[in-house]
């Protein structure tokens, strides 16, 4: 495995699947030590073993991305991890869930849970990481938003509102921390095939037919490559926002 001259430590939430998993692998392959977080311990252990087999370093910390105490524990475990050199340089705020349907017909009993994970938990992690990185005068916070956090879609209006919210939090945070040498990047993916669709409740009827004209959809690795690219830019360059869509995706 090729190492960077200065290996960094990256925390990645939502690393048991999809974009988070692919990002952890991409950063580990590039030589970063990774702290991987999600609820499913067994998936994290599998990924940690895969990274170790590649010659990389990984620490699995299970927890709920919407629970402030779990998030605080994730950061504390990272700082106590010998391999990480008692610091972290990168936080990828990625854990989240979707929800099929608009304002009229999405499942209202899931609205609070959606905001708990996608907005409040994500914002708490961004706040804690931002406070730490301002003190250190360096660091990267990468927030995974969505194209529906920029374009209101009648098919996923409530979910999209959570991504509008976290996009606003990301820009607010960026303005607070950029004078201190800390970068914030909002990555807005289009359609990526992952466990996301099943969790959100998409099926052939409400999803498959609509996306058929889009052609080949994204794989999690496509987003991971984008995140890896922006993180490796010189420290005076901050890609504030990036949208990555399948070429054939006209909307959203
Ligand atoms: N796929 C898309 O088309 C798409 C498009 C735009 C944006 N996004 C965003 O990209 C991010 C990653 O999505 P993905 O496509 O990679 O979906 P995914 O395959 O379903 O992965 C979601 C990850 O989030 C974790 N997670 C969910 N709820 C959690 C909770 N309460 N506590 C801790 N971890 C939790 C899951 O782990 P556990 O289940 O093990 O906890 C999993 O690792 C999300 O923020 C999503 O909104 C996805």
Range of the domain at 181: 9-199+211-244
Do the domain assignments include residue 187?
yes
Q: What is the mean pLDDT of the chain?
A: 95
Contact 153, 190 (CB under 8 A): no
Once rounded to an integer, what is the mean pLDDT over residues 186-199?
98
How many structural domains does the chain have? 1
Do the domain assignments include residue 43?
yes
DSSP string, 68-97: HHHHHHHHHHHHT-GGGTS---EEEE----
Out of 1-5, 61-65, 148-152, pick the least confident: 1-5
Do the domain assignments include residue 83?
yes
Place of tokens 């820009």: 171
Q: What is the reported pLDDT for 4?
A: 46
Confidence class for position 86, pLDDT limits 50, 70, 90: low
DSSP string, 99-153: --S-TTTS-GGGHHHHHIIIIIIHHHHHHHHHHHHHHHT-EEEEEE--GGGTS--
Do the domain assignments include residue 251?
no
Cα of 98 from ligand 1 centre, angstroms: 8
Probe target for ligand 1 pocket from 11, 15, 18, with the most ligand atoms within 8 Å of CB: 18
Closest C-alpha to 222, from 170, 186, 187: 187
Do the domain assignments include residue 3?
no
Contact 82, 92 (CB under 8 A): no
Confidence class for position 7, pLDDT limits 50, 70, 90: confident
Do the domain assignments include residue 173?
yes
pLDDT tens across 101-157, in order?
A: 999 999 999 999 999 999 999 999 999 999 999 999 999 999 999 999 999 999 999
Which residue's CA is the nearest one to ligand 1's atom 44? 96
65 lines ligand 1 (CB under 6 A): yes
pLDDT tens across 91-107, in order?
A: 999 999 999 999 999 99
17 lines ligand 1 (CB under 6 A): yes
Do the domain assignments include residue 110?
yes
What is the distance in angstroms between the CA of the first residue and the CA of the last residue of the chain?
38
Which residue's CA is the nearest one to ligand 1's atom 34? 38
Q: State the pTM of this model.
A: 0.97
CA distance 53 to 50: 5
Do the domain assignments include residue 249?
no
Tell me, yes or no, if 115 is annotated catalytic.
Answer: no
CATH code at 134?
3.40.50.720
Confidence class for position 82, pLDDT limits 50, 70, 90: confident
CA angle 22, 27, 32 (to 5 degrees): 150
Cα of 19 from ligand 1 centre, angstroms: 7
Longest dimension (CA), the chain: 53
């Amino acid at each position: 495995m090729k190492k960077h001259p200065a290996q960094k430590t990256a925390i990645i939430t939502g690393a048991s699947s999809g974009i988070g998993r692919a990002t952890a692998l991409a950063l580990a392959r590039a030589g970063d030590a990774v702290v991987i977080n999600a609820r499913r311990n067994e998936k994290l252990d599998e990924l940690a073993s895969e990274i170790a087999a590649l010659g990389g370093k990984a620490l699995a910390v299970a927890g709920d991305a919407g629970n402030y105490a779990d998030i605080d524990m994730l950061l504390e475990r990272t700082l106590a991890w010998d391999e990480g050199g008692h610091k972290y340089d990168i936080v990828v705020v990625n854990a989240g869930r979707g929800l099929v349907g608009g304002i009229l017909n999405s499942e209202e009993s899931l609205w609070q849970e959606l905001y708990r994970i996608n907005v409040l938990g994500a914002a708490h992690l961004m706040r804690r990481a931002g406070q730490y990185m301002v003190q250190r005068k360096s660091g990267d916070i990468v927030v995974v938003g969505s194209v529906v956090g920029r374009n209101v879609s009648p098919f996923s209006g409530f979910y999209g509102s959570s991504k509008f919210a976290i996009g606003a939090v990301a820009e607010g945070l960026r303005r607070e921390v950029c004078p201190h040498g800390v970068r914030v990047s909002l990555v807005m993916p289009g359609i990526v095939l992952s466990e996301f669709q099943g969790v959100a409740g998409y099926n052939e009827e409400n999803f498959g037919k609509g996306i058929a004209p889009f052609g080949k959809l994204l794989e999690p690795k496509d987003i991971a490559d984008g995140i890896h690219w922006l993180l490796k830019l010189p420290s005076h360059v901050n890609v504030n926002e990036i949208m990555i869509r399948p070429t054939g995706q006209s909307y959203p």
